[in-house]
C-alpha cells in the first residue's frame, strides 16, 4: 500500500527537495493551500486535502484539515484491529507522515505596527491539531515540525528502520513546539501582571561549557521575542561566554543602562566593584578603576558610551573578562582585539527604559516572579531628617550612592563621592559588617574626605551611623522606616552628620 504524507507548512525551506525524496520513497503527497501550489509549481504530483475530505476549504482557509478523514488517518492505531476495521468501513486511509509548521504568529507580533486583529488571524488551528494527533500516535506516524529534521527523516525511511526512540524524539519536539506556540499566544493576549496560570517559553541560544562550577551542566536560553535591552548582544571578539560571564555581564549591563551621564561599571561576582561617572568615558573609566584597582582585575566592564582609543589603551593594560559598550571605535577594537581572551560585546543601550518588566527566580518546586526594580530616586525626593543639611555636592554624592547601592547584594552599604565608588560592602548577614567593609575599603582612597555612605535598607540600630561618623563620613542616605529611626537620627545629630531618607528600600538577594 502506498504510504501517505501530509505536507502543510509556513516555512518552505527545503520543502521541494524533501517532497521529491518522499515521492522517490513511494509516498503519496497530500497538501493544502500555498504548500500545494509550491509543490505543484515545482512539478510534483500532489493530492489536495479537499480531494480526501470531499469538502472545499472554508471560511477563508480557517477550515480545511479539521475532518475525520484526516484525523482518523492520523489517530488510528495500526496494531488495533478494531481501529483499522473502522477506517475501512468509512473509507479512511492511514496517514503515515505529517510535515507541518505553523502560521508565523511570532514573526507577526514582532512587527511594531501589527494590530490585534492581524495577530489573531495568525493563530493556527488546523496545524497544531494535526501535529498533536500525529504526535500522540507516534508509534505509527512520523511527525516533522522542523526543516532541520528533513534529512534525518529521509535517512530513517531509506534505511527502513522502525526505531521507536527516533519517532518519540520527533513527537517530543512537536509538543515542545506547540506548547511554545500556545505560550506566545497566551502571553500576547494576557493583560494581567500575575495571571493564575503563568506560561513561559524560551529558545535555546547555546549550550554552555559548564554552569557556575565545572561539574554543573548548563545552557543559555533566550526570550522568543527579543528584548531590546538584552545581554544577547553582538560579540565582536573573544572566546565563548560562560554561565558566570553571562550573569555578571547581565548585571553590569542593567546597571550601566540606568545612568544618563558617561558611566563605567565594573562588576565582579554579580556585585559592582567600581562605578564611575564623568564628562567623558575615559574619565569615567579612571573613576571606576580607582574605586578598586584590585577587584576590577578579571572583572566585567560595561560602559554607556562608545569606547575610544584612549580608554581602550587603559583597559588593555589589565586583564578584563568582558567589555560591553554600545560601540567601539576602529582604533579601540584594534587595541583590545590584541588580547586573545577578552570578550567584546556590542549592546544597544538606547532602549534602557524598555527593559523587561518582570524577573523570575527559580526556587525548589516553583518560580518567583516580581517586577524588575527600575525605580531611581533623585535628590529632590530626599527627606532631610537631621539638623545638619547636606551641601549641594553632598546631595549629588548621595544621589549617586543611592543609585549604586540598589545593584549591590544585600545587606549592602556603599561609600562614594559624587562621581565614584570608594568602598562596597555587600552580602553580609548584618548591616554593621557591611558598613565596616565599605568604610575600611574607602578610607585609603583619594576623595574620602568628601565621602558619603548609602545603605540599601534602614538601620535597625544606631551602630552603623556611629561607626560612619567616627570614620569621618559626612552624609548618609538610607530608606528610613525603622522603629529605631530616631536613634540613628540622634546619633547623626550628635556627630554633625547630614542624613536623608528616601522611603524606598532596594534589597537585592
- Ordered by where they begin, the domains of the chain are 3-189 (3.40.50.1380), 216-353 (3.40.140.20), 379-501 (3.40.140.20)
Cell triple for 249 = 555581564
- Write the DSSP assignment of 274-330 as a string of letters: EEEE-SSHHHHHHHHHHH-TTTTTT-EEEESS-B-HHHHHHHHTS--SEEEES-B-H
Q: Please give the positions annotated as active site.
A: 136, 269
pLDDT at residue 1, rounded to an integer: 66
- Could you give the 3-state DSSP secondary structure of residue 102? coil
Question: pLDDT tens per residue, the chain (509 residues)?
Answer: 689 999 999 889 899 999 999 999 999 999 988 888 998 998 888 888 888 877 777 777 777 777 888 888 898 888 888 998 988 888 889 999 999 988 888 888 888 899 989 999 888 888 899 899 999 999 999 999 999 999 999 999 998 878 899 999 999 999 999 999 999 999 999 988 888 888 898 889 889 999 989 999 999 988 888 777 787 778 889 888 899 999 999 999 999 998 999 999 999 999 999 999 999 999 999 999 999 999 999 999 999 999 999 999 999 999 999 999 999 999 999 999 999 889 999 998 887 777 778 888 888 888 888 888 888 899 899 999 999 999 999 999 999 999 999 999 999 999 999 999 999 999 999 999 999 999 999 998 888 998 999 999 999 999 999 999 999 999 999 999 999 999 999 999 999 999 999 999 999 88
What is the 3-class SS of 115-148, one letter each residue? Answer: CHHHHHHCCCCHHHHHHHHHHHCCCCCEEECCHH
Burial code of 279-296, b = ≥16 C-beta within 10 A, e = fewer? eebbbbbbbbbbbbeebb
Cell triple for 61 = 482557509
Closest to 428 (Cα-Cα) out of 445, 414, 416: 414
Q: Are 350 and 229 in contact (CB under 8 A)?
A: no
Other Cβ atoms less than 10 A from the Cβ of 210: the count is 14
- Write the DSSP assignment of 424-437 as a string of letters: EE-S-SSHHHHHHH
pLDDT at residue 363, rounded to an integer: 85
pLDDT at residue 186, rounded to an integer: 92
Q: Are 487 and 462 in contact (CB under 8 A)?
A: yes
Distance CA 305, CA 157 (A): 56
Cell triple for 260 = 544618563
Distance CA 383, CA 388 (A): 12
Can you list the alpha helix ranges (DSSP code H) found in 347-413?
392-405
Closest to 376 (Cα-Cα) out of 227, 255, 272: 255
Q: Between 68-75 and 81-89, two packed helices, what is the crossing angle to 10 degrees? A: 160
Q: Look at the pTM and tell me if it is higher than 0.75.
A: yes
Amino acid at each position: 500500500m502506498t504510504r501517505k504524507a501530509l505536507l502543510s507548512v509556513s516555512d518552505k525551506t527545503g520543502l521541494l527537495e524533501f517532497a521529491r525524496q518522499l515521492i522517490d520513497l513511494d509516498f503519496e503527497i497530500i497538501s493544502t493551500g500555498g504548500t500545494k501550489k509550491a509543490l505543484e509549481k515545482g512539478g510534483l504530483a500532489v493530492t489536495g486535502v479537499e480531494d480526501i475530505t470531499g469538502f472545499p476549504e472554508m471560511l477563508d482557509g480557517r477550515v480545511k484539515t479539521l475532518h475525520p478523514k484526516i484525523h482518523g488517518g492520523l489517530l488510528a492505531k495500526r496494531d488495533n484491529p478494531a481501529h483499522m476495521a473502522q477506517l475501512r468501513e468509512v473509507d479512511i486511509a492511514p496517514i503515515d507522515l505529517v510535515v507541518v509548521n505553523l502560521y508565523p504568529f511570532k514573526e507577526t507580533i514582532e512587527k511594531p505596527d501589527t494590530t490585534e486583529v492581524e495577530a489573531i488571524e495568525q493563530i493556527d488551528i488546523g496545524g497544531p491539531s494535526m501535529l498533536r494527533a500525529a504526535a500522540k500516535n507516534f508509534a505509527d506516524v512520523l511527525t516533522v515540525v522542523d526543516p532541520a529534521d528533513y534529512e534525518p527523516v529521509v535517512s530513517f525511511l531509506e534505511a527502513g528502520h522502525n526505531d521507536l526512540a527516533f519517532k518519540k524524539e520527533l513527537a517530543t519536539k512537536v509538543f515542545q513546539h506547540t506548547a511554545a506556540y500556545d505560550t506566545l499566544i497566551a502571553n500576547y493576549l494576557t493583560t494581567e501582571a500575575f495571571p493564575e496560570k503563568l506560561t513561559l517559553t524560551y529558545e535555546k541560544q547555546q549550550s554552555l561549557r559548564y554552569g557556575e562550577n565545572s561539574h554543573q551542566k548548563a545552557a543559555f536560553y533566550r526570550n522568543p521575542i527579543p528584548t531590546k535591552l538584552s545581554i544577547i548582544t553582538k560579540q565582536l571578539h573573544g572566546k565563548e561566554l560562560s554561565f558566570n560571564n553571562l550573569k555578571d555581564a547581565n548585571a553590569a549591563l542593567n546597571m550601566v543602562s540606568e545612568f544618563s551621564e558617561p558611566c563605567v561599571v565594573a562588576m565582579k561576582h554579580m556585585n559592582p566593584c567600581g562605578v564611575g561617572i564623568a564628562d567623558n568615558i575615559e574619565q569615567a573609566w579612571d573613576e571606576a578603576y580607582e574605586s578598586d584597582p584590585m577587584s576590577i582585575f578579571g572583572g566585567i566592564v560595561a560602559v554607556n558610551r562608545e569606547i575610544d582609543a584612549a580608554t581602550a589603551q587603559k583597559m588593555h593594560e589589565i586583564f578584563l573578562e568582558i567589555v560591553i559598550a554600545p560601540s567601539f571605535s576602529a582604533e579601540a577594537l584594534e587595541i583590545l582585539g590584541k588580547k586573545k581572551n577578552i570578550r567584546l560585546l556590542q549592546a544597544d543601550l538606547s532602549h534602557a527604559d524598555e527593559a523587561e518588566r518582570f524577573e523570575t527566580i527559580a526556587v525548589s518546586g516553583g518560580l518567583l516572579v516580581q517586577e524588575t526594580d527600575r525605580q531611581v530616586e533623585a535628590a529632590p525626593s530626599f527627606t532631610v531628617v537631621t539638623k545638619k543639611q547636606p551641601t549641594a555636592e553632598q546631595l549629588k554624592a548621595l544621589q549617586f550612592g543611592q543609585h549604586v547601592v540598589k545593584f549591590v547584594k544585600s545587606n549592602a552599604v556603599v561609600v562614594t563621592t559624587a562621581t565614584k565608588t570608594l568602598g562596597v560592602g555587600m552580602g553580609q548577614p548584618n548591616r554593621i559588617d557591611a558598613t565596616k567593609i565599605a568604610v575600611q575599603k574607602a578610607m585609603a582612597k583619594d576623595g574620602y574626605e568628601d565621602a558619603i555612605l548609602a545603605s540599601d535598607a534602614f538601620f535597625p540600630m544606631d551602630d552603623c551611623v556611629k561607626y560612619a561618623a567616627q570614620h569621618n563620613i559626612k552624609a548618609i542616605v538610607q530608606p528610613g522606616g525603622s522603629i529605631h529611626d530616631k536613634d540613628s537620627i540622634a546619633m547623626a545629630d550628635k556627630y554633625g552628620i547630614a542624613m536623608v531618607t528616601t522611603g524606598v528600600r532596594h534589597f537585592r538577594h
